[in-house]
Amino acid sequence: FDEVRRLPTGECVLIIEVDSSYRSGNLTPAHELFHQVQNGYAPFKRPWFYEGTARWSETILGKSVVVARPIPGNEEDIKFFWAQSYAAVSVWYGLIERCNQKSVKVAVPDHLRALRYRSGRLVILDDDTPGHDFIRQVLEELNKLGDRVTQTEGMKRYHWPERAQRDPRYDADIWSALPGC
């Protein structure tokens, strides 16, 4: 599900279904949950943003090592970045590193901190979330951009046609909306 739903009470919600066949440690549910967070903020599904930052969300739980790549500095490098998908995570880490974003300590309730996979390994290893503030700022800026484009294009908020959500013509606007550091 990729759109905000309205309950009979009027409350807006995001819905995700998780198949019980996922093995312990599979980070796909975290990745898909982050897509729901993205969908709640902004309508853009350009792979360099959509998949790159969803991959970032996986690294929080999976403790994958991501080597930060330099931020694209010229038009050719930017266009190459915009052609990326999951691999764009390295540039997102470069953006986080450049912006000196400190890890945020997330308050995790004890009952969640105690959860373990079937193997016995803790699900949540620590409470550090590198890049949290930067990614939140990105989502907030893209929310504003999404509202402007919705109004300009005469579309309905949270119900953009899929083709519009994936349209590369928004790449430069998305890039320009990223917080300056």
**111 backbone φψ class: left, alpha, beta (φ>0; ψ -120 to 50):** alpha
pTM for this predicted structure:
0.83
- Provide the Cα torsion 55, 106, 123, 140; round to 10°: -30
pLDDT exceeds 70 at position 158: yes
Segment 165-173 shows an average pLDDT of 97
What mean pLDDT comes out for the span 160-181?
94
> 125 pLDDT exceeds 80?
no
Q: How confident is the model at residue 101 (pLDDT cuts 50, 70, 90)?
A: low
Per-residue confidence band for 20, with pLDDT thresholds at 50, 70 and 90: confident
User: Of 35, 48, 46, 47, whose CA–CA distance to 4 is shortest?
Assistant: 35
Q: Does residue 1 have a pLDDT over 60?
A: no
